[in-house]
Structure 1
Amino acid sequence: MATPQFEILAYEPTELGMLCLRRRELLCEPGTIVTEVTLNHEFLMSSYLTASERALSEIALRMHAGSELHVLVGGLGLGYTARAALGSPRVASCEVIEFLPQVIGWLEQGLVPLSDELNGEDRLQITRGDVYQYLAAAPPRKYDLILIDVDHSPEENLGTANGDFYTAQGLRLAKQHLAEGGLLGVWSYAEDSPFSEALRALFREVHIEPVTVFNNLIDVEQTDWLFFARD
């Protein structure tokens, strides 16, 4: 019997802790190779289950009827939210703001599954920065869709300052970056009542979408939560 594949592609210190990019063959599905990211030895993301990351873009696009759309994505990750947005011919541009330069480097170096596809996409611009600081400042331009997938949840943040975004004041500042009819979408692994209440205090329409998949790596059904808001 062949030995399952396992490879560490990158192991680097960052401002948030030790970041690891690894590629491995699944024991439960021999022949299936996945790319995974851990932060401080805790699981962060995977190329195996990407339904909710893709749905963040797909549902937002269904909710917005416009064309020539300008999209802002907070957090590059493995690129699945950006790729789903760029899958629509109605998207004119997609700007991604990623906090960790190492993550941007992985894409540029061809280390992640979507590298070839995204590196060849003319509509994509990737910027190193803090999307929360960007949204708290005066808007240099406006977006039709702003899609945030950075933290585990509104109450479990990767950075100590990130939580300000999820408050009424933070959302009020972020709202200034939306074009007329624009939509804000936020990914979370947990349903969060205080965050949904803050959204409802500021936006005319709030929609919360659960995305449930069966994770056969741990033999459980799991649900991620997508929050959408617009006026």
Structure 2
Amino acid sequence: MGARFEELAWRQTPIGLISLRRRRDPALHTEVYEVKLDDEFLMSSLFPVAEIELARLGLAALADAELDVVVGGLGLGYTARTALADDRVRSLHVVEAIEDVIDWHRRGLLPFAAGLADDPRTRLVEADFFAAVDGDGFDPDRPGRRFHAVLLDIDHSPRHVLHPRNAAFYTPAGLRRLAGHLHPGGVFALWSDDPPEPAFEQTLAEVFATARAHVVPFANPLTGGESANTVYVARHAA
């Protein structure tokens, strides 16, 4: 058994102090990995269900035999790992703004994400996802390259963003710029910590041919009850 609590990595970044910690939960008899930004919890290995479903639901909406996929936000790696489990995925660009998060994976600090950084299909891109949307896209070597799917998990929700400048992305204009990086018929999928928001669903419907909000329930071992996240899946016109 390891130490009860260990701070694995931390660094001051432009958006705050980001840290990765591991703790032993005696009640659950498991090791828990958590990411914090200053005093705010961003993610925990106790609750990976919706991050996994983000990739599963997003890619399930595609019938293509081969897929080029973007994941916005690396985090603990659950979304990226699930995408790689789909045999159709031939390339995966993971766009992460914080160098330290990429370094966690390259150093093997997250055992449940083992193999993600070393998979030949994976490219870890250190960049601001939202700036890439407004610019030349997600592949530094091929400006303007289009993808079959973009799976995004950065902000808490379309209304609860980590930085005020991110809010412009969740408008019709911002989503149209994102759609311009998709192949015809491509998919945009978004994780949200909040319940489905009718106003955002309407915004998606203005830009995409189809849009649906999936409620993803999961057992919450901290409360002994059930919690839920939302995964939005929108498909570009064919």
TM over 0.5: yes
Residue 176 (1) aligns with residue 180 (2) = yes
Match of 1:227 in 2: 232
Greater CA drift, 4-13 or 120-129: 4-13
Contact 2:159 2:167 in 1 (8 A): yes
Tell me whether 1:197 sits opposite 2:202 in the alignment.
yes
Q: Which runs of 4+ in 1 moved over 3 A?
A: none
Aligned to 2:141: none
- Aligned pairs for 1:45-56 (under 5 A) are 45-56=43-54
Judge conservation of contact 2:215–2:228 (CA < 8 Å) in 1.
yes
Distance across 1 between alignment mates of 2:166 and 2:110: 26
Q: Distance in 2 between matches of 1:44 and 1:113?
A: 19
Q: Map 1:1-231; keep pairs closer than 5 Å.
A: 5-30=4-29, 32-139=30-137, 140-190=144-194, 191-230=196-235, 231=237
Instruction: Report the counterpart of residue 140 of structure 2 in structure 1.
Output: none
Residue identity opposite 1:57 in structure 2: A
Counterpart Cα distance in 2 of 1:3 and 1:70: 39
CA drift at 1:34: 1.5
Q: CA deviation at 1:221?
A: 1.5
Question: What amino acid is aligned across from residue 198 of structure 1 in structure 2?
Answer: T
Structure 1 220/91 Cα, relative in aligned 2: closer, same or farther at 3 Å? Answer: same
Distance, in Å, in 1 between the alignment partners of 2:74 and 2:2 is: 32
Aligned length: 229
Give the Å deviation of 1:155. 0.6
Report the 3-state secondary structure (helix = DSSP H, G, I; strand = E; otherwise coil) of the residue aligned with 1:119: coil
Root-mean-square deviation over aligned CA pairs: 1.5
Deviation larger for 89-98 or 217-226: 217-226
Structure 2: gaps (5+ residues): 138-143
| C-alpha distance 202-119 of structure 1, shift in aligned 2 (>3 A) | closer
Contact 2:117–2:124 (8 Å) recurs in 1: no
Deviation at 1:3, TM superposition (A): 9.4
Normalised by the size of structure 2, how large is the TM-score? Answer: 0.92
SS of equivalent to 2:164 = coil
Structure 1 residue 16, shift from structure 2 partner: 1.1
Write out per-residue CA displacement over residues 122-141 of structure 1, whole angstroms, 9 at most, x where no aligned residue. 00001111111111224410
- With normalisation by structure 1, the TM-score equals 0.94
Identity %: 37
Question: 2:78·2:113 contact (CA, 8 Å) conserved in 1?
Answer: no
Distance 1:8 1:178, change over 3 A: same
2-structure distance, mates of 1:226, 1:200: 15
How far the C-alpha of 1:114 sits from its partner, in A, is 3.8
